[in-house]
């Protein structure tokens, strides 16, 4: 049997303890068949040879918590990240420009503003947005996706009064001085607005475009954390497309929250269980929202936010209701993933999972708590004893860590995303970005795990820093484990898929400060090249 492809003259980090490094790798039918001298035996007249010219190779990266279709849809909306719109005036200018392009009455949608990064350190008000687009409803999501700002036309278009009642788990923010609506809406209050949705074809086209961004970042497998009916249709149809190669893991949106319709009842009625699907597309379990975000001051923390009165965030539901849902899901052989950032939310999530099973059965299920930002020592002990995965959004530290410092204060911010403690307790903690909440590039997360530095240059929780090898493991081996994928991806091992990336710099050999600058030169999925950096087009192939 001859190999289809042999990569040679490489610095290969397999992330497999049985053979940590290699210089040569042979691929047959999309899977790895041999390393080094044994790979030579697979060379034949039809074997393609690829000289890697000493560059570093890693397994394809696994993004363990993201919203790919949400990211894709955002490509069609106003880009309000601070790099694009650094001031309130620039946001308003973008809204005015879009209003000139759209017919009156059509929605102006945007995503990515972050008050902690704006020059004015505040959000655009209802008055400002109403003046910028008096005849168009405006709905602009904060980078955390837990808050948005709207204008008066948005209230009118959605049939809401300007004195609305807060829904459960949501809040219409009011100006403290005037008592009038400020334009900021939080959590479930966003569900009150009648935002138009994209068509299936529009979502498919946007996802095909977004896929290339994932490949450019070295991502070959992604966990989609908010799957409803529309997303299910899109991904099933994309799997039939020859040019869609991304491996996708689906977490089904359980309860109607944040403006998204839950599908828990339908899933249970159909008898769907975790693992349904194939190696390219499968169902992981049910996803539940429990609290908000630190940046939006809605995560359910134990002590009030800095300079915010008695505000300790928002819980989406009661202990009793959460327990009922989790017990029912687990009884029906579905894994659960619970969004828990603040201490109060993490505690509720742990209690629900513990009520649903024993330490032994929970270990077999590999339930997850998403983000798990402010886990206490007591939480760590419980996570370990029940084998619960801490799906840690370590990418938050780089992208939005400054807002954590501002809103939590230095003392609390020191213990966010405690990766060294996760390791000490033997807790699997796959890294992630929660994109589009944060930058999707995993090397920003790896950099943050090692240096604990924010985009603003501040540091938080240096005692929780981990070595480069552990940081990369969180985006490969541990991330694969979180999806029951350790037999097929996560490391470069014989028999596993040849999902791999070639890098311009060796992350194990460079200064830690340079990790965030590492670029992917080439991405392969099952031995086929899906991305080559343009300027390197002829670098490897001779």
* pLDDT tens readout for residues 416-443: 999 999 999 999 999 999 999 999 999 9
Check residue 535 and give its pLDDT: 64
In a domain, 286, yes or no: yes
* pLDDT tens readout for residues 339-360: 999 999 999 999 999 999 999 9
* pLDDT tens readout for residues 14-68: 999 999 999 999 999 999 999 999 999 999 999 999 999 999 999 999 999 999 9
Identify whether residues 337 and 380 lie together within a single domain: yes
In a domain, 410, yes or no: yes
Q: How high is the mean pLDDT of the chain?
A: 95
* pLDDT tens readout for residues 121-170: 999 999 999 999 999 999 999 988 889 999 999 999 999 998 899 988 88
Give the list of residues 6+ apart from residue 103 with CB closer than 8 angstroms, or none: none
Identify whether residues 145 and 229 lie together within a single domain: no
Percent of the chain with pLDDT over 70: 99
Total count of domains within the chain? 3
pLDDT at 449 over 70: yes
Identify whether residues 91 and 118 lie together within a single domain: yes
| CATH number, position 349 | 3.20.20.140
Across 72-76, 197-201, 447-451, which has the greatest mean pLDDT?
447-451
Range of the domain at 236: 63-68+198-481
Check residue 203 and give its pLDDT: 94
Identify whether residues 187 and 216 lie together within a single domain: no
In a domain, 486, yes or no: no
In a domain, 431, yes or no: yes
Q: How far is CA 12 from the centre of its chain?
A: 27
Check residue 227 and give its pLDDT: 96
Q: Which of 324, 319, 330, 323 is nearest to 361 (CA)?
A: 330
Give the list of residues 6+ apart from residue 93 with CB closer than 8 angstroms, or none: 85
Residue at which a domain ends, from 192, 209, 228:
192
Check residue 1 and give its pLDDT: 84
Confidence of residue 197 (pLDDT cuts 50, 70, 90): confident
Identify whether residues 253 and 328 lie together within a single domain: yes
Q: Lowest-pLDDT range, 43-52, 193-202, 230-239?
A: 193-202
In a domain, 73, yes or no: no
In a domain, 487, yes or no: no
The token pair that represents 479 in the structure block: 């991330």
Residue at which a domain ends, from 481, 505, 524:
481
Check residue 198 and give its pLDDT: 87
Cα torsion 356, 358, 360, 366: sign? positive
pLDDT at 539 over 50: no
Give the list of residues 6+ apart from residue 505 with CB closer than 8 angstroms, or none: 56, 514, 517, 518, 519
Q: Which of 340, 477, 370, 474 is nearest to 420 (CA)?
A: 474
The token pair that represents 518 in the structure block: 């590492």
Residue at which a domain ends, from 132, 162, 192:
192
Identify whether residues 523 and 453 lie together within a single domain: no
Question: Which whole number is the average pLDDT over 463-486?
Answer: 99
From residue 46, alpha-carbon distances to 5, 33, 113, 405, 530 in Å are 9, 16, 52, 57, 21
**Integer Cα distance of 188 and 205 in angstroms:** 29
Give the list of residues 6+ apart from residue 340 with CB closer than 8 angstroms, or none: 290, 291, 346, 348, 349, 369, 370, 371, 372
**Integer Cα distance of 188 and 170 in angstroms:** 4
* pLDDT tens readout for residues 285-324: 999 999 999 998 999 999 999 999 999 999 999 999 999 9
Confidence of residue 536 (pLDDT cuts 50, 70, 90): low
Q: Is the peptide bond before 436 cis (omega within 30 degrees of 0)?
A: yes
What length does the chain have?
A: 542
Identify whether residues 182 and 285 lie together within a single domain: no
- Which one-letter DSSP state was computed for residue 342? S
Confidence of residue 258 (pLDDT cuts 50, 70, 90): confident
The token pair that represents 124 in the structure block: 């655009």
Identify whether residues 362 and 412 lie together within a single domain: yes
Confidence of residue 456 (pLDDT cuts 50, 70, 90): very high
Helices 377-385 and 343-356: crossing angle in degrees, nearest 10, is 20
pLDDT at 391 over 70: yes
In a domain, 476, yes or no: yes
Question: Which whole number is the average pLDDT over 102-115?
Answer: 91
Identify whether residues 477 and 499 lie together within a single domain: no
pLDDT at 540 over 60: no
In a domain, 542, yes or no: no
Question: Which whole number is the average pLDDT over 91-96?
Answer: 96
| CATH number, position 522 | 2.30.40.10
| SS3 state at 353 | helix
390, β-bridge pairs: 369
Confidence of residue 541 (pLDDT cuts 50, 70, 90): very low
Q: Lowest-pLDDT range, 135-139, 217-221, 448-452, 536-540?
A: 536-540
Q: Which of 275, 140, 217 is nearest to 433 (CA)?
A: 217
Identify whether residues 134 and 157 lie together within a single domain: yes
pLDDT at 451 over 50: yes
Identify whether residues 122 and 33 lie together within a single domain: no
Give the list of residues 6+ apart from residue 231 with CB closer than 8 angstroms, or none: 69, 203, 224, 250
State which H helix or E strand residue 249 sits in: strand 247-253
520, β-bridge pairs: 503
Question: Which whole number is the average pLDDT over 405-420?
Answer: 97
**Integer Cα distance of 413 and 421 in angstroms:** 15
| CATH number, position 99 | 3.10.310.70
Identify whether residues 178 and 266 lie together within a single domain: no
Rg (the chain; Cα; Å): 23
Helices 395-408 and 442-451: crossing angle in degrees, nearest 10, is 60
């Amino acid at each position: 049997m001859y190999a289809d492809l042999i990569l040679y003259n490489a610095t290969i980090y397999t992330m497999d303890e049985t053979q940590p490094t290699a210089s040569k790798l042979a691929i047959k039918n999309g899977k790895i068949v041999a390393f080094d001298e044994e790979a030579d035996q697979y060379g034949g007249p039809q074997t393609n040879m690829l000289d890697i010219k000493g560059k570093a190779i890693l397994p394809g990266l696994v993004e363990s918590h993201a919203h790919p279709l949400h990211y894709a849809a955002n490509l069609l909306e106003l880009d309000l990240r601070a790099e694009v719109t650094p001031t309130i005036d620039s946001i308003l200018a973008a809204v005015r420009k879009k209003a000139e392009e759209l017919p009156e009455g059509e929605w102006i949608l945007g995503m990515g503003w972050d008050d902690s990064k704006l020059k004015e350190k505040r959000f655009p008000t209802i008055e400002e947005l109403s003046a910028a687009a008096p005849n168009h409803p405006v709905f602009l999501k904060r980078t955390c996706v837990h808050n948005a700002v709207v204008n008066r036309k948005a209230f009118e278009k959605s049939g809401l009064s300007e004195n609305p009642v807060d829904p459960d788990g949501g809040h219409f923010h009011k100006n403290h001085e005037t008592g009038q609506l400020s334009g900021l809406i939080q959590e479930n209050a966003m569900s009150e607005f009648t935002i138009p949705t994209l068509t299936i074809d529009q979502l498919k086209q946007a996802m095909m475009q977004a896929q290339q961004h994932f490949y450019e970042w070295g991502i070959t497998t992604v966990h989609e954390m908010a799957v409803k009916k529309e997303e299910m249709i899109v991904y099933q149809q994309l799997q039939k497309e020859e040019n869609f190669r991304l491996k996708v893991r689906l977490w089904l949106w359980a309860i109607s929250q944040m403006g998204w319709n839950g599908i828990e009842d339908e899933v249970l009625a159909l008898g769907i269980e975790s693992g349904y699907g194939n190696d390219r597309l499968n169902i992981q379990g049910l996803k539940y929202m429990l609290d908000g975000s630190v940046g939006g001051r809605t995560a359910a923390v134990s002590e009030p936010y800095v300079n915010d009165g008695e505000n300790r965030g928002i819980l989406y539901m009661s202990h009793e209701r959460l327990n009922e849902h989790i017990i029912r899901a687990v009884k029906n052989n579905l894994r659960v993933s619970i969004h828990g950032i603040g201490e109060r939310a993490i505690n509720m999530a742990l209690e629900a999972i513990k009520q649903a099973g024993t330490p032994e059965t929970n270990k077999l299920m590999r339930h997850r708590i998403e983000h798990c930002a402010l886990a206490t020592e007591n939480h760590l002990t419980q996570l370990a004893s029940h084998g619960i995965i801490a799906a840690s959004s370590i990418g938050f530290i780089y992208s939005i860590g400054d807002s954590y410092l501002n809103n939590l204060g230095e003392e609390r911010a020191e213990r966010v995303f405690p990766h060294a403690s996760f390791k000490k307790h033997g807790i699997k903690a796959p890294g992630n970005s929660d994109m589009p909440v944060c930058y999707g590039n995993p090397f920003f997360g790896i950099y943050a795990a090692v240096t604990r530095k924010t985009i603003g240059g501040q540091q938080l929780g240096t005692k929780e820093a981990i070595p480069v090898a552990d940081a990369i493991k969180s985006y490969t081996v541990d991330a694969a484990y979180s999806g029951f994928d350790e037999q097929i991806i996560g490391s470069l091992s014989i028999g596993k898929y040849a999902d791999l990336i070639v890098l311009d710099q060796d992350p194990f050999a460079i200064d830690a400060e340079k990790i965030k600058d590492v670029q992917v030169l080439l991405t392969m999925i099952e031995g086929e090249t899906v991305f080559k950096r343009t300027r390197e087009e002829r670098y490897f192939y001779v």
